[in-house]
Amino acid sequence: MTDVKRILVLTADAGFGHRSAADAVATALQDSYGGAVSVEIVNPLEGKRVPAILRDSQADYDKFVREAPGLYKLGYRASDASVPTTVVESALTVMLFEAMHDIVRRYQPDAIVTTYPLYQAPLGAVYAISRHHVPLLTVVTDLATVHRLWFHEAADLCLVPTRKVRDLALKYGLPAHKVHVTGIPVRPALASRVRDPAAIRAGLGWRADLTTVLAVGSRRVGHLPDVLRALNHSGLPLQLAAVAGGDDELYHHLQHTEWHLPAHLYNFVTDMPTLMHAADCIICKAGGLIVSEALACGLPLLLIDVLPGQETGNAEYVVEGGAGEWAESGIAALEVMCHWLDRDGALLAERARNAHRLGRPHAAHDVAKRVWAAAERGPASRAGPGALMRSRLINLLSHNGIPWKEKEAESTADYHG
């Protein structure tokens, strides 16, 4: 009888994207390997040993991005260089070493997947101290503009969404055999369309005969009310499905709007694939996951919010690929929609074809196959980095009061006892 392979998926809750990618990989693993695999999704930043500055960074992320986008952009650019990245990785190693060691010890995984870039350096330190290496696969969750923290030598494979990101990974020093283009993992349900859009709309209680716009908001999508106001008063033959993404204030606003077109309002949904398959286009921000999900469904994108830094590249990828447009205001969004619908929707159809071409609906299963192969190889004892590098890690941990000697002894007992 085949032993059950234990897969540990590490993620974070700074926005929805990292968690969504983790869920997609877990679902694909369970779909493909059933009872032969056991998958645990863990957010290390929730651990009690993690300093509050990192724990709280998730809750503060939306507020910081919304209220100080210029400062966020400055910090992103300043840190995306060789020396600052080294400093950041050293700090992350100090802050997360004990948490990472405890997680690896607790779950005893055959392979680890991370959909968040902050964990690789601390894991690399755990491996170096214990001289025991668990196969590590990094899943990058932005399409073009990617911080160099994603690219770390501790990873056995770096699974990237596009050739452009692959080129970045090679530029930042990863060997070619470690870098593979898979796309960003999206929910496997997005890969199949069992009914035509009109039938799905009818099942949802929507009009089956109208061009349907899916608008997805959240606390980070500030322009959505202006865009919806413009469409609401446009007189265009549309119907709207608006999802507030759990933003109660936005949902309240939507509920108290006098709608002049058919509007179907949701606060938070768990069946986004169904809504996407029912729509003809989507209005959203340029997050890596929602863009990848839309492309997987062949949905043209009207992007209305772009986080300076990583999301800039996502927007450029969509626009340059002919799969959508960027609109800075309600009027600009209305102009795009008018162009899309002109000549019986010729441009909308073209955008849909391009979205299908760019989409990678089977990315999660591609990632799952590679994770499974890594788990079959399993953990192994390794000499790790050179003596000088290991000595530097030990000095870094000792200087900051991290009990690495105890961790080394525990690891040896756990892995070889």
Are 249 and 320 in a shared domain?
yes
CB of 137 closer than 8 Å to CB of 371: yes
**Rounded Cα–Cα distance for residues 37 and 334 (Å):** 48
Are 107 and 216 in a shared domain?
no
Are 197 and 317 in a shared domain?
yes
**Rounded Cα–Cα distance for residues 177 and 408 (Å):** 30
Are 260 and 295 in a shared domain?
yes
Report the amino acid identity of residue 158.
Answer: C
Q: Can you give the CATH number for the domain in which 262 is found?
A: 3.40.50.2000
Q: What is the full DSSP assignment across 243-266?
A: E-TT-HHHHHHHHTS--SS-EEEE
Are 63 and 130 in a shared domain?
yes
Q: Which domain-ending residue is among 358, 373, 408?
A: 358
**Rounded Cα–Cα distance for residues 267 and 292 (Å):** 22
Report the amino acid identity of residue 168.
Answer: L
Which pair of tokens denotes residue 347?
A: 């441009």
Q: C-alpha angle with apex 203: 198 to 208, nearest 5 degrees?
A: 30
Q: What is the full DSSP assignment across 271-284?
A: -HHHHHHH-SEEEE
Task: Kindly tell me the burial class for residue 38, based on how many C-beta atoms sit within 10 Å of its own C-beta (0-12, 13-18, 19 or more).
Answer: middle
**Rounded Cα–Cα distance for residues 374 and 205 (Å):** 45
Name the domain count of the chain.
Answer: 2
Residues in contact with 335: Cβ distance below 8 Å, sequence separation at least 6, in sequence order:
327
Are 108 and 57 in a shared domain?
yes
pLDDT in tens, the chain (417 residues): 468 999 999 999 876 789 999 999 999 999 999 999 999 999 999 888 787 777 666 555 555 445 445 434 444 454 555 546 777 788 888 888 888 889 999 999 999 999 999 999 999 988 888 888 999 999 999 888 888 889 999 999 999 999 999 999 999 999 999 999 999 999 998 887 666 889 999 999 999 999 999 999 887 777 899 999 999 999 999 999 999 988 899 999 999 999 999 999 999 898 899 999 999 999 999 988 999 999 999 999 999 988 776 788 899 999 999 999 999 899 999 999 999 999 999 999 999 999 999 999 999 999 999 999 999 999 987 655 655 566 677 677 777 767 766 555 555 455 444
Are 366 and 347 in a shared domain?
no
Are 137 and 159 in a shared domain?
yes
Q: Which domain-ending residue is among 358, 377, 408?
A: 358
Are 195 and 222 in a shared domain?
yes
Are 215 and 322 in a shared domain?
yes
The domain of 84 spans 5-186+362-416
Q: Which domain-ending residue is among 358, 384, 401?
A: 358
